[in-house]
Amino acid sequence: MGGHKSKQKECSDCDQTQYGKFIDLAINMKSFTYINACSIEEAVTLLGERKPDALPIAGGTDLIVQMKRGLIAPKVLVDISGIEKLHGIRNDEQGLYIGSMVTHAEIAASPVVQISIPAVSAASASVGAPQTRNLGTLGGSLASCMPSMDAAPCLLALEAVARLTGKNGERVIPIEQFFLGPRRSALAKDELLLGIMIPAKNLTEACSFEKFGRRKALTLALVNAAASVKLDKKTGKFEYARLSLGAVAPTPIRARETEIFLMQKAANEKTIGQAARLAAEEAKPINDFRASADYRRALIKVLVKRVLTDAASKASNG
């Protein structure tokens, strides 16, 4: 999309209103107004003033597709991609923080992420095509609330938290509470996702991610899975394991019954095989044009075995 792009802190250059220049655009769809936000506060104000007809846009890899298909028809798009405070990756005493405007390609290539939690890097590297990874953002992926999103399983397994902000101030919620249903997030109409934080205590855990699609690349997940575990070094048993699944329920889920089963069990092939069967029973996959529910259950068993075996191996090797 073309149009005026004002730099941060230079909103006076936008000559029509304090919020930036309004641009009427049409891309084989209903016309809408585009506004380039220069700050988080401005974006929140714009979304609040124009709710429920306004939506934020960044990479647009999902939003524009929905608009072209006529699934949504916002009257106003608020561009938040240039807001500096929504970018950046840092690792400090609190944990690993990833801003909502960080792209999948940036996460995959980040030395900080690769060193701190390589499974998150692997999940980002598995997203779509290079063009999608270069444009698509973590925040956009999470806000889409698609059950098959690749970003969710690792974040669930690592108990990440989401930072949100709106007219009533900032709030922090567990990432599990962010996903309400297909295309439904916990974001209010006047809220933005600032970023996610993986707590520092969980960065020492062994984590593994697996994805299975109809192709080896450029594909949506038929099933994806992640596991984060800690082993008792003396006994070799699971102190705990957190297991998450995608594309097997209306939202990405934690397999909590399976997690309970694994506690204080030996991290061996028999235990992991039993856990894989439990996880398949715990999930609620559907039949659709991409795969049957039975096929997805079979995939769950395979992927759960892989992520638990890999995570346990990493944990035992320190």
Q: Are 125 and 108 in contact (CB under 8 A)?
A: yes
H or E element, residue 152 = helix 152-157
Which CATH number goes with the domain that contains 264?
3.30.390.50
In 10 A of CB 11, how many CB atoms? 17
Same domain, 75 and 100: no
Joined together, the tokens standing for residue 171 give 């709030």
pLDDT in tens, 59-93: 888 898 889 888 889 999 999 999 999 999 999 99
Q: Are 248 and 296 in contact (CB under 8 A)?
A: yes
Can you list the residues of the chain whose pLDDT is less than 70? Answer: 1-29, 215-218
Sequence-ordered list of residues with C-beta below 8 angstroms from that of 181, at least 6 positions apart, any chain:
145, 250, 251
Burial pattern 146-166, b for ≥16 Cβ within 10 A else e, equals bbbbbbbbbbbbbbbbbbbbb
Same domain, 176 and 282: no
Residue among 316, 269, 246, 310 at smallest CA distance from 118: 310
Same domain, 232 and 156: no
Q: Are 230 and 315 in contact (CB under 8 A)?
A: yes
Which of 59, 83, 107 is the last residue in one of the domains? 83
Residue 309 forms part of a structural domain? yes
> How far is 102 from 89, CA to CA, in rounded Å?
8
Same domain, 101 and 164: yes
Same domain, 170 and 259: no
User: Where in the sequence is the domain holding 154, given as residue range(s)?
Assistant: 85-201
Q: Are 162 and 173 in contact (CB under 8 A)?
A: yes
What does the pLDDT read at residue 222?
93
Count of domains observed in the chain: 3
70: left (phi over 0), alpha (psi -120 to 50) or beta: left
This prediction has a pTM of 0.88
What does the pLDDT read at residue 216?
64
pLDDT in tens, 84-138: 999 999 999 999 999 999 999 999 999 999 999 999 999 999 998 888 899 999 9
What does the pLDDT read at residue 298?
97
What does the pLDDT read at residue 217?
60
> How far is 228 from 209, CA to CA, in rounded Å?
9
Which of 201, 234, 250 is the last residue in one of the domains? 201
What does the pLDDT read at residue 289?
85
Same domain, 164 and 174: yes
Residue among 43, 21, 15 at smallest CA distance from 33: 21
In 10 A of CB 52, how many CB atoms? 10
